[in-house]
Structure formats: C-alpha cells, structure tokens
Amino acid sequence: MLHLDIKRLCGIRVVGHRITGNRQQRARGVAFDYTYVAIDDHSRVAFAQIWPAERADCAAGFLRQTLAYYRTLGLRIRRILTDNGKVFSSRDFTAVCQQHHIRCSHTRPYRVLRLHNESMNSTSPASNRSNSSGATSCTLTSRRETPGILLRKNARG
C-alpha cells in the first residue's frame, strides 16, 4: 500500500521580526510550493517532489512519476491510501489509478490515521530544514533550484 499526502511549503521573502526586531515590515504576497510525498507501507521507501500547485494534473503527474520510481525498485503498487483532498478524487488522478489497476482508498473524514500522518511529517522536506549540503533552503527559488528530492527511509533498520 502506498500512502500519499501533500504538504504546503511557504516561501520566505524577508527575515522576520524575531531577528530584525522590526514588527512594521511584513512580507505580502508570499507564494507557496507543494511537496507531494509517497511512502510505501511495506518497504518504508519514501519519494517526494516539489510541484508548483495543488491541482489534479500535478497530483496525476506525481503519481505517474512515483509509480515509475517504485517500478525501478521492483515494487508493484496495488493500493493507494490518501486523505479526502480534491486532487485525490479528481478525474485525472482516478484515471491514472485505473490505467495502472490500482485501488485508491481514502481515509475517513476527521479521523487521521496515525501511521499515515506520522510518516508524512517525518519525511517532509520542511521538517528536515536543510538540503544535502547542509544549507537551509528558505526561499522558493533556492528550494526549486535544488535537485529533486528523493528520500529513502527504512524504519525497520
């Protein structure tokens, strides 16, 4: 089973008031990036990518790339578990699921699965706060310029 989720990452334009002491300066019109995260339930291998929007075509594209990645590892995905987000119920997303013969399940509303939520939060790039070189990635442009995010996490070892 593959767990899918989306995390919204905010772009930081200016340093905040905790550093400068100036509460008058505000960052308006800050854009967002969306990190799509997939975790295989059995192997605990995670795959994440940053996409520009939370739309059906982005979710379907991410699912295609996720399936291709797991195929290279020799894993076949038969079921997907997601939340009740619009993008995971869209025609584009369900068409990709049907094309690959994948059964898509949704969590019950207001009942977050503990494993699903903890897995997504622990592998989110936002929780890492730095890229592979150790430098923090606090702006959208620097986050987009870093190489594609590919996470491997083995909780059993």
90 within domain boundaries: yes
For 55, residues 6+ apart whose C-beta sits below 8 A from its C-beta are 87
At 1-58, the pLDDT tens digits run 999 999 988 777 777 777 778 878 776 667 788 999 999 998 899 999 999 899 999 9
Q: Yes or no: say if 44 and 156 are a contact pair by the CB < 8 Å rule.
A: yes
Contact, 79 vs 101, CB < 8 A? Answer: no
The whole domain housing 91 covers: 2-145
Asked, for residue 153, whether it belongs to a domain, the answer is no
Q: Flag whether 119 is in a domain.
A: yes
pLDDT in tens, 90-113: 999 999 999 999 999 988 877 655
Is position 152 within any domain?
no
Above pLDDT 90, what percent of the chain?
Answer: 45
The yes-or-no verdict on residue 139 having pLDDT over 70 is: no
Q: What is the pTM of this model?
A: 0.67
CA-CA distance, 63 to 97, in Å (whole number)?
A: 8
CA nearest neighbour of 149 among 55, 16, 9, 24: 9
Alpha-carbon gap, residue 6 to 34, rounded angstroms: 6
143: which residues sit within 8 A by CB, 6+ positions away? 9, 11, 33, 50, 137
Give a yes or no: residue 155 inside a domain: no
